[in-house]
Amino acid sequence: MVLLAATLLAGETQRRIYTARADAEFQRAQARFRAAPDNPTNAWQFARAAFECAEFADSDTRRAGLAAQGMAACRQSLAREPHSAAAHYYLAMNLGQQARTEFLGALKLVREMEREFKAAGELDPHFDQAGPERNLSLIYRDAPGWPASIGSRPKARASSEQAVSLAPDYPGNSLNLIECYLIWDEGAAAQRELQRLDALWPAAQTTLAGARWESFWDDWSTRRQTVRRKISLLFPPRSP
């Protein structure tokens, strides 16, 4: 119990650090955007900061408010520059935050997210480490299927595998693919991808280093432990 309490306290402390960093970056990006709102880079970077700040929001009201600001910045930018992959991408990401705060309206937002991620991917498939395909895979995996929504295992498979193909050294893409394989009871495929992830992990830790990546590594490490446990249950070590 003492160890569990210490672990929970450490996790909460780390979350406060990540929240403070996201809030500070949001303030900086907001100041740049307000100073030059017609600058397309300022617009999408502000939308990115709004999305990342919303990740740590402590209420649906705050999450929705941050998402609304990010969406507005992207839509204003796209009205002037419709071929911005970044603006399409972060519009979709903030739509996702908005969807987390809704129930009945979430399915409508999912279709708009799909459209914006597709637009971003057509303009720059490598943006955010193959982010358009990575996020499309999650939509297709988790959304209800036809006729209620756009969920589709074939589309989820195609997008998750395409994301790995486009950015093979990015841990988030590999983890998404492993999680998909496990959901679909494809243990052998999950095991192969985990072995590939383990091989790329040390180099990725060097490449994706610094304060910005700390919250990502916390998430990825937790998920890697989870999928490793699940795979070990499917393929227990052989007795000597």
Does 78 reside within a domain? yes
Same domain, yes or no, for 102 and 131?
no
Digits of tens for pLDDT over the chain (240 positions)? 433 333 444 567 888 999 999 999 999 999 999 999 999 999 999 999 999 999 999 999 999 999 999 999 999 999 999 999 999 999 999 999 999 998 767 788 999 999 999 999 999 999 999 999 999 999 999 999 988 889 999 999 999 999 999 999 999 999 999 999 999 999 999 999 999 999 999 999 999 999 999 999 999 999 999 999 999 999 877 655
Name, in order, each residue with C-beta under 8 angstroms of 121's C-beta and a sequence gap of 6 or more.
85, 127, 132, 133, 136
Predicted local distance difference test score (pLDDT) of residue 235: 87
Domain end: 78, 106, 134, which one? 106
Give pLDDT, residue 147. 84
Residue whose entry in the numeric block shows the structure tokens 């499309």: 136
The total number of structural domains in the chain stands at 2
Q: Does residue 1 lie in a domain region?
A: no
- Domain assignment present for 2: no
d(CA 137, CA 176): 8
Residue 61 located in a structural domain = yes
Spatial contact of 137 and 163, defined as CB atoms under 8 Å apart: yes
pLDDT digits (tens, 9 = 90+) for 207-234: 999 999 999 999 999 999 999 999 999 9
pLDDT at 10: 54
Q: Which of 220, 178, 207 is nearest to 195 (CA)?
A: 178
Domain co-membership, 33 together with 64: yes
Residues 156 and 67 grouped into a single domain:
no
Looking up residue 159, the CATH number of its domain turns out to be 1.25.40.10
Asked whether residue 113 is domain-assigned, the answer is no
In a domain, residue 3? The reply is: no
Q: Which DSSP state fits 167?
A: S
Of 60, 75, 106, the domain-final residue: 106
Range of the domain at 229: 125-234
Per-residue model confidence (pLDDT) at position 239: 58
Give domain status of residue 16, yes or no. Answer: yes
Last residue of a domain, one of 79, 106, 133: 106
